[in-house]
Amino acid sequence: MHDGMFIFDNAIHAYDNSSINVLESDRAAADHFTVGPGSVGQTLAVFPQLDRSGRLESDPDFGHKRLGVDEALKLLFEDSDTDMAMAQTVPIKDFWKDFLYPLQLNYELKQAAPDRILFCGAVDPTTMTTKECLASMEHQVRELGATSFKFYQSGADEQHWMADDREVAYPIFEKALELGVTCLQFHKGFAFSQQIMGPWLRCEDLQRPARDFPEATFVIHHLGWPYEDASIQIASRFPNMVMSYAGLIQFYPLMPDLTLHALGKALLFLGPDRVLYGSEGFVWPNVQSTIEMFNEMQFSDEMQDRWGYPEITRDIREKLFGRNFARIMGVDIDAKSKLLGVS
Protein backbone atom coordinates (compact mmCIF):
# COMPACT_ATOMS: atom_id res chain seq x y z
CA MET A 1 0.00 0.00 0.00
CA HIS A 2 1.02 3.60 -0.48
CA ASP A 3 0.02 5.95 2.32
CA GLY A 4 -2.64 3.44 3.29
CA MET A 5 -4.08 3.24 -0.24
CA PHE A 6 -4.39 -0.08 -2.08
CA ILE A 7 -2.45 0.11 -5.36
CA PHE A 8 -3.91 -1.99 -8.18
CA ASP A 9 -1.88 -1.18 -11.28
CA ASN A 10 -3.98 -1.45 -14.43
CA ALA A 11 -1.05 -1.80 -16.86
CA ILE A 12 2.32 -3.49 -16.57
CA HIS A 13 4.16 -5.16 -19.45
CA ALA A 14 6.86 -7.83 -19.32
CA TYR A 15 8.82 -7.34 -22.54
CA ASP A 16 11.24 -9.37 -24.65
CA ASN A 17 13.34 -7.61 -27.27
CA SER A 18 16.09 -10.24 -27.12
CA SER A 19 17.10 -12.72 -29.79
CA ILE A 20 14.84 -15.23 -28.02
CA ASN A 21 11.81 -13.35 -29.31
CA VAL A 22 12.92 -11.12 -32.18
CA LEU A 23 12.99 -12.77 -35.60
CA GLU A 24 16.63 -12.82 -36.69
CA SER A 25 15.80 -11.71 -40.23
CA ASP A 26 13.87 -8.72 -38.87
CA ARG A 27 16.26 -7.47 -36.16
CA ALA A 28 16.93 -4.16 -37.93
CA ALA A 29 13.21 -3.53 -38.42
CA ALA A 30 12.46 -4.49 -34.82
CA ASP A 31 15.15 -2.11 -33.59
CA HIS A 32 13.69 0.68 -35.69
CA PHE A 33 10.25 0.02 -34.21
CA THR A 34 11.37 -0.26 -30.57
CA VAL A 35 14.24 2.24 -30.29
CA GLY A 36 14.16 4.23 -33.55
CA PRO A 37 12.63 7.65 -34.28
CA GLY A 38 9.34 8.19 -32.47
CA SER A 39 9.56 4.83 -30.71
CA VAL A 40 8.96 3.90 -27.09
CA GLY A 41 12.70 3.37 -26.74
CA GLN A 42 13.46 6.88 -27.95
CA THR A 43 11.00 8.28 -25.43
CA LEU A 44 12.68 6.23 -22.71
CA ALA A 45 16.03 7.70 -23.69
CA VAL A 46 14.97 11.33 -24.16
CA PHE A 47 12.50 11.94 -21.33
CA PRO A 48 14.97 11.28 -18.47
CA GLN A 49 17.45 13.67 -20.09
CA LEU A 50 14.83 16.43 -20.13
CA ASP A 51 13.50 15.66 -16.65
CA ARG A 52 15.06 18.16 -14.23
CA SER A 53 13.46 16.39 -11.28
CA GLY A 54 15.52 13.27 -11.92
CA ARG A 55 12.51 11.05 -11.30
CA LEU A 56 12.22 9.40 -14.69
CA GLU A 57 14.44 6.39 -15.20
CA SER A 58 14.82 4.05 -18.14
CA ASP A 59 16.68 0.84 -18.85
CA PRO A 60 19.37 1.45 -21.50
CA ASP A 61 19.12 -2.21 -22.52
CA PHE A 62 15.38 -2.03 -23.26
CA GLY A 63 15.86 -2.47 -27.02
CA HIS A 64 17.68 -5.81 -26.73
CA LYS A 65 16.63 -7.19 -23.37
CA ARG A 66 14.31 -9.88 -22.09
CA LEU A 67 12.90 -8.76 -18.76
CA GLY A 68 13.19 -11.63 -16.32
CA VAL A 69 10.28 -12.61 -14.08
CA ASP A 70 12.38 -12.24 -10.92
CA GLU A 71 13.48 -8.75 -11.92
CA ALA A 72 9.91 -7.77 -12.70
CA LEU A 73 8.63 -9.02 -9.35
CA LYS A 74 11.38 -7.12 -7.53
CA LEU A 75 10.58 -3.87 -9.34
CA LEU A 76 6.90 -4.31 -8.65
CA PHE A 77 6.57 -5.72 -5.15
CA GLU A 78 9.92 -5.12 -3.41
CA ASP A 79 10.92 -1.74 -4.82
CA SER A 80 7.41 -0.26 -5.03
CA ASP A 81 4.23 -0.05 -2.98
CA THR A 82 2.17 -1.90 -5.60
CA ASP A 83 -0.26 -4.44 -4.15
CA MET A 84 -1.73 -5.92 -7.34
CA ALA A 85 -1.23 -5.46 -11.06
CA MET A 86 -2.44 -6.70 -14.42
CA ALA A 87 0.25 -8.09 -16.74
CA GLN A 88 -0.83 -7.08 -20.23
CA THR A 89 0.21 -8.73 -23.47
CA VAL A 90 0.88 -6.39 -26.41
CA PRO A 91 -0.29 -8.26 -29.54
CA ILE A 92 1.93 -6.65 -32.15
CA LYS A 93 3.44 -9.51 -34.13
CA ASP A 94 5.40 -7.97 -37.01
CA PHE A 95 9.01 -8.76 -36.06
CA TRP A 96 8.55 -11.03 -33.06
CA LYS A 97 8.11 -14.78 -32.59
CA ASP A 98 5.65 -14.19 -29.80
CA PHE A 99 4.12 -10.73 -29.47
CA LEU A 100 6.05 -7.51 -28.78
CA TYR A 101 5.27 -7.91 -25.06
CA PRO A 102 4.82 -11.66 -25.16
CA LEU A 103 1.81 -13.68 -24.16
CA GLN A 104 3.90 -16.43 -22.58
CA LEU A 105 6.15 -14.08 -20.61
CA ASN A 106 3.26 -12.12 -19.14
CA TYR A 107 1.53 -15.39 -18.27
CA GLU A 108 4.70 -16.56 -16.50
CA LEU A 109 4.73 -13.33 -14.53
CA LYS A 110 1.18 -14.00 -13.38
CA GLN A 111 2.07 -17.57 -12.48
CA ALA A 112 4.94 -16.36 -10.30
CA ALA A 113 2.60 -14.23 -8.17
CA PRO A 114 -0.94 -15.53 -8.74
CA ASP A 115 -2.40 -13.76 -5.70
CA ARG A 116 -1.11 -10.39 -6.87
CA ILE A 117 -1.01 -10.41 -10.66
CA LEU A 118 -3.87 -10.89 -13.11
CA PHE A 119 -3.14 -11.96 -16.67
CA CYS A 120 -4.46 -10.02 -19.66
CA GLY A 121 -4.37 -12.03 -22.86
CA ALA A 122 -4.54 -10.79 -26.44
CA VAL A 123 -5.18 -11.68 -30.06
CA ASP A 124 -4.35 -9.88 -33.31
CA PRO A 125 -6.95 -10.05 -36.10
CA THR A 126 -4.47 -8.57 -38.59
CA THR A 127 -2.19 -11.62 -38.41
CA MET A 128 -4.66 -14.28 -37.21
CA THR A 129 -7.86 -15.57 -38.76
CA THR A 130 -11.08 -15.29 -36.81
CA LYS A 131 -10.95 -19.03 -36.14
CA GLU A 132 -7.40 -18.71 -34.81
CA CYS A 133 -8.34 -15.75 -32.62
CA LEU A 134 -11.27 -17.58 -31.05
CA ALA A 135 -9.26 -20.75 -30.45
CA SER A 136 -6.46 -18.74 -28.87
CA MET A 137 -8.90 -16.91 -26.62
CA GLU A 138 -10.33 -20.23 -25.48
CA HIS A 139 -6.82 -21.46 -24.64
CA GLN A 140 -5.83 -18.25 -22.88
CA VAL A 141 -8.86 -18.25 -20.60
CA ARG A 142 -9.22 -21.96 -19.90
CA GLU A 143 -5.53 -22.91 -19.75
CA LEU A 144 -3.71 -19.67 -18.86
CA GLY A 145 -6.33 -17.99 -16.70
CA ALA A 146 -6.74 -14.77 -18.70
CA THR A 147 -9.25 -12.43 -17.05
CA SER A 148 -9.13 -9.66 -19.66
CA PHE A 149 -8.09 -9.09 -23.26
CA LYS A 150 -5.99 -6.26 -24.67
CA PHE A 151 -6.42 -5.11 -28.24
CA TYR A 152 -4.03 -3.19 -30.49
CA GLN A 153 -5.63 -2.42 -33.81
CA SER A 154 -2.53 -1.91 -35.97
CA GLY A 155 1.07 -3.00 -36.14
CA ALA A 156 4.20 -1.68 -37.80
CA ASP A 157 2.66 -1.70 -41.27
CA GLU A 158 -0.68 -0.29 -42.39
CA GLN A 159 -2.75 -3.36 -41.57
CA HIS A 160 -5.50 -2.50 -39.12
CA TRP A 161 -8.94 -3.50 -37.92
CA MET A 162 -11.87 -1.58 -36.51
CA ALA A 163 -13.66 -2.38 -33.27
CA ASP A 164 -17.09 -1.80 -34.83
CA ASP A 165 -16.50 -4.27 -37.66
CA ARG A 166 -19.28 -6.79 -37.13
CA GLU A 167 -17.48 -9.53 -39.06
CA VAL A 168 -13.99 -9.12 -37.58
CA ALA A 169 -14.43 -7.64 -34.11
CA TYR A 170 -17.84 -8.78 -32.93
CA PRO A 171 -17.06 -12.53 -32.94
CA ILE A 172 -14.07 -11.75 -30.72
CA PHE A 173 -16.15 -9.74 -28.25
CA GLU A 174 -18.84 -12.42 -28.25
CA LYS A 175 -16.24 -15.09 -27.53
CA ALA A 176 -14.80 -13.09 -24.65
CA LEU A 177 -18.22 -12.77 -23.04
CA GLU A 178 -18.95 -16.45 -23.66
CA LEU A 179 -15.74 -17.22 -21.74
CA GLY A 180 -16.79 -14.95 -18.88
CA VAL A 181 -14.32 -12.18 -19.73
CA THR A 182 -16.02 -8.79 -19.58
CA CYS A 183 -13.00 -6.43 -19.38
CA LEU A 184 -12.00 -5.51 -22.95
CA GLN A 185 -9.06 -3.11 -23.17
CA PHE A 186 -7.94 -1.00 -26.11
CA HIS A 187 -4.73 0.80 -26.91
CA LYS A 188 -5.87 4.15 -28.30
CA GLY A 189 -3.74 7.05 -29.46
CA PHE A 190 0.00 6.81 -28.75
CA ALA A 191 1.27 5.57 -32.10
CA PHE A 192 4.52 3.59 -31.90
CA SER A 193 7.51 4.60 -34.00
CA GLN A 194 6.31 5.42 -37.54
CA GLN A 195 2.95 3.67 -37.34
CA ILE A 196 0.32 5.27 -39.53
CA MET A 197 -2.15 7.18 -37.38
CA GLY A 198 -5.71 6.61 -38.51
CA PRO A 199 -9.24 6.15 -37.20
CA TRP A 200 -8.28 2.81 -35.63
CA LEU A 201 -6.27 4.78 -33.04
CA ARG A 202 -9.25 6.96 -32.19
CA CYS A 203 -12.26 5.99 -30.07
CA GLU A 204 -15.14 6.50 -32.47
CA ASP A 205 -15.19 2.79 -33.33
CA LEU A 206 -15.86 1.84 -29.70
CA GLN A 207 -19.28 3.50 -29.63
CA ARG A 208 -21.27 0.75 -31.34
CA PRO A 209 -19.59 -2.08 -29.41
CA ALA A 210 -20.23 -0.27 -26.13
CA ARG A 211 -23.89 0.05 -27.08
CA ASP A 212 -24.20 -3.49 -28.46
CA PHE A 213 -22.33 -5.20 -25.60
CA PRO A 214 -23.58 -3.40 -22.47
CA GLU A 215 -22.37 -6.21 -20.21
CA ALA A 216 -18.74 -5.56 -21.25
CA THR A 217 -16.43 -2.90 -19.83
CA PHE A 218 -14.39 -1.12 -22.52
CA VAL A 219 -11.15 0.34 -21.17
CA ILE A 220 -9.57 3.13 -23.24
CA HIS A 221 -5.85 3.35 -22.55
CA HIS A 222 -3.80 6.55 -22.42
CA LEU A 223 -7.07 8.55 -22.44
CA GLY A 224 -6.72 8.13 -26.21
CA TRP A 225 -4.03 10.86 -26.23
CA PRO A 226 -3.47 12.93 -28.38
CA TYR A 227 -7.19 12.59 -29.13
CA GLU A 228 -8.16 12.87 -25.47
CA ASP A 229 -10.86 15.53 -25.89
CA ALA A 230 -12.90 13.44 -28.34
CA SER A 231 -12.11 10.25 -26.44
CA ILE A 232 -13.34 11.69 -23.15
CA GLN A 233 -16.50 13.05 -24.74
CA ILE A 234 -17.25 9.65 -26.27
CA ALA A 235 -16.52 7.75 -23.06
CA SER A 236 -18.67 10.11 -21.02
CA ARG A 237 -21.77 9.01 -22.98
CA PHE A 238 -21.34 5.27 -22.48
CA PRO A 239 -21.47 4.07 -18.87
CA ASN A 240 -19.53 0.91 -19.72
CA MET A 241 -16.50 2.85 -20.96
CA VAL A 242 -13.60 3.43 -18.57
CA MET A 243 -10.35 5.33 -19.19
CA SER A 244 -6.84 4.36 -18.10
CA TYR A 245 -4.37 7.14 -17.34
CA ALA A 246 -1.44 4.79 -18.00
CA GLY A 247 1.24 6.27 -20.21
CA LEU A 248 0.52 9.89 -19.37
CA ILE A 249 1.92 9.99 -15.83
CA GLN A 250 5.48 10.01 -17.16
CA PHE A 251 4.70 13.25 -18.99
CA TYR A 252 4.05 14.96 -15.67
CA PRO A 253 7.64 16.03 -14.77
CA LEU A 254 8.08 17.53 -18.24
CA MET A 255 4.60 18.83 -19.08
CA PRO A 256 2.56 19.12 -15.88
CA ASP A 257 -0.14 21.31 -17.42
CA LEU A 258 -0.80 18.87 -20.28
CA THR A 259 -1.07 15.88 -17.99
CA LEU A 260 -3.15 17.65 -15.34
CA HIS A 261 -5.60 19.04 -17.89
CA ALA A 262 -6.05 15.58 -19.42
CA LEU A 263 -6.73 14.04 -16.01
CA GLY A 264 -8.98 16.93 -15.02
CA LYS A 265 -11.15 16.58 -18.10
CA ALA A 266 -11.48 12.83 -17.55
CA LEU A 267 -12.56 13.33 -13.94
CA LEU A 268 -14.89 16.19 -14.83
CA PHE A 269 -16.77 14.40 -17.62
CA LEU A 270 -16.57 10.74 -16.55
CA GLY A 271 -16.46 11.15 -12.79
CA PRO A 272 -13.95 9.56 -10.41
CA ASP A 273 -15.38 6.03 -10.69
CA ARG A 274 -14.29 5.50 -14.31
CA VAL A 275 -10.61 6.49 -14.36
CA LEU A 276 -7.78 4.04 -13.65
CA TYR A 277 -4.14 4.30 -12.57
CA GLY A 278 -1.49 2.40 -14.53
CA SER A 279 2.30 2.64 -14.28
CA GLU A 280 3.37 1.23 -17.66
CA GLY A 281 5.98 -0.77 -15.78
CA PHE A 282 8.33 -2.22 -16.82
CA VAL A 283 8.75 -0.10 -19.89
CA TRP A 284 9.29 2.54 -17.23
CA PRO A 285 11.13 0.46 -14.59
CA ASN A 286 10.81 2.77 -11.58
CA VAL A 287 7.25 1.89 -10.63
CA GLN A 288 7.57 3.52 -7.22
CA SER A 289 8.41 6.87 -8.79
CA THR A 290 5.27 6.60 -10.92
CA ILE A 291 3.16 5.93 -7.82
CA GLU A 292 4.66 8.91 -6.03
CA MET A 293 4.15 11.24 -8.98
CA PHE A 294 0.52 10.21 -9.35
CA ASN A 295 -0.05 10.64 -5.63
CA GLU A 296 1.25 14.20 -5.80
CA MET A 297 -0.94 15.31 -8.68
CA GLN A 298 -3.45 17.94 -7.66
CA PHE A 299 -5.33 20.73 -9.38
CA SER A 300 -4.48 24.19 -8.16
CA ASP A 301 -7.25 26.44 -6.86
CA GLU A 302 -6.94 28.41 -10.10
CA MET A 303 -7.42 25.27 -12.23
CA GLN A 304 -10.42 24.26 -10.16
CA ASP A 305 -11.97 27.72 -10.42
CA ARG A 306 -11.18 28.33 -14.07
CA TRP A 307 -11.76 24.86 -15.51
CA GLY A 308 -14.11 23.25 -13.03
CA TYR A 309 -11.83 20.34 -12.20
CA PRO A 310 -12.62 18.62 -8.91
CA GLU A 311 -10.20 18.60 -6.02
CA ILE A 312 -8.52 15.20 -5.89
CA THR A 313 -9.67 14.14 -2.45
CA ARG A 314 -8.40 11.13 -0.56
CA ASP A 315 -11.52 9.23 -1.59
CA ILE A 316 -10.99 10.03 -5.28
CA ARG A 317 -7.32 9.10 -5.10
CA GLU A 318 -8.14 5.73 -3.54
CA LYS A 319 -10.60 5.05 -6.36
CA LEU A 320 -8.06 5.91 -9.05
CA PHE A 321 -5.22 3.98 -7.43
CA GLY A 322 -7.08 0.73 -7.08
CA ARG A 323 -10.69 0.65 -5.99
CA ASN A 324 -12.06 1.30 -9.48
CA PHE A 325 -10.07 -1.46 -11.16
CA ALA A 326 -10.77 -3.82 -8.26
CA ARG A 327 -14.49 -3.26 -8.79
CA ILE A 328 -14.18 -3.98 -12.51
CA MET A 329 -12.17 -7.15 -11.92
CA GLY A 330 -14.26 -8.39 -9.00
CA VAL A 331 -11.47 -8.10 -6.43
CA ASP A 332 -12.47 -7.60 -2.79
CA ILE A 333 -9.81 -5.19 -1.54
CA ASP A 334 -10.43 -5.88 2.14
CA ALA A 335 -10.14 -9.64 1.66
CA LYS A 336 -7.14 -9.26 -0.64
CA SER A 337 -5.37 -6.92 1.81
CA LYS A 338 -5.88 -9.46 4.57
CA LEU A 339 -4.59 -12.27 2.35
CA LEU A 340 -1.49 -10.29 1.38
CA GLY A 341 -0.93 -8.96 4.89
CA VAL A 342 -0.94 -5.33 3.79
CA SER A 343 -2.57 -2.42 5.57
Residue 110's CATH number: 3.20.20.140
Is the confidence at residue 26, as pLDDT, over 90?
Answer: no
What is the phi/psi pair of residue 250, to 5°? -70, -10
Phi-psi region of 83 (alpha: psi -120 to 50; beta: other; left: phi over 0): alpha
Rama region for 125: left / alpha / beta (φ>0; ψ in -120 to 50; rest)? alpha
How many domains does the chain contain in total?
Answer: 1
Continuous segment of H or E residues that includes residue 132: helix 130-142
Peptide linkage before 226 cis (omega within 30 of 0): yes
Residue 32 lies in a domain: yes
Q: State how far the alpha carbon of 62 is from the alpha carbons of 34, 156, 338, in Å.
A: 9, 18, 36
> What Cα–Cα distance (Å) separates residue 2 from each residue in 93, 234, 295, 342?
36, 32, 9, 10
Q: Output the CA–CA distances (angstroms, integers) from residue 55 to 33, 292, 312, in the order listed.
A: 26, 10, 22
Q: Does residue 1 form part of some domain?
A: no
Question: If we measure between CA atoms, which residue out of 48, 50, 38, 39 comes closest to residue 17?
Answer: 39
**Domain residue limits at 31:** 8-340
* 2 part of a folded domain: no
- Over residues 58-77, mean pLDDT: 93
Which pLDDT band holds residue 50 (cuts at 50, 70, 90)? confident
Listed residue (255, 268, 275, 288) closest to 317, CA to CA = 275
Phi and psi based region of residue 165 (left: phi greater than 0; alpha: psi -120 to 50; beta: remaining)? beta
The rounded distance, in Å, linking the Cα atoms of 293 and 259 is: 11
Statement: residue 194 has pLDDT above 80 = no
Q: Find the helix packing angle between 40-50 and 27-35, rounded to 10°.
A: 40
For 198-224, how does the pLDDT look when each residue is reduced to its tens digit (9 = 90+)? 899 999 999 999 999 999 999 999 999
Specify the range with the lowest mean pLDDT, choosing from 24-38, 74-88, 195-209: 24-38
Lowest mean pLDDT among 50-59, 113-122, 316-325: 50-59
The verdict on residue 3 lying in a domain is no
Q: Could you tell me which residues come within 8 angstroms of residue 338 by beta carbon, excluding any fewer than 6 positions away? A: none
- Give the percent of the chain with pLDDT over 90: 80
220 bridge partner residues: 186, 243
The answer to whether residue 66 is domain-embedded is: yes
The three-class DSSP label of residue 180 is coil
In a domain, 187, yes or no: yes
Helices (H) and strands (E) in the chain, counts: 14, 8
The pLDDT of residue 39: 79
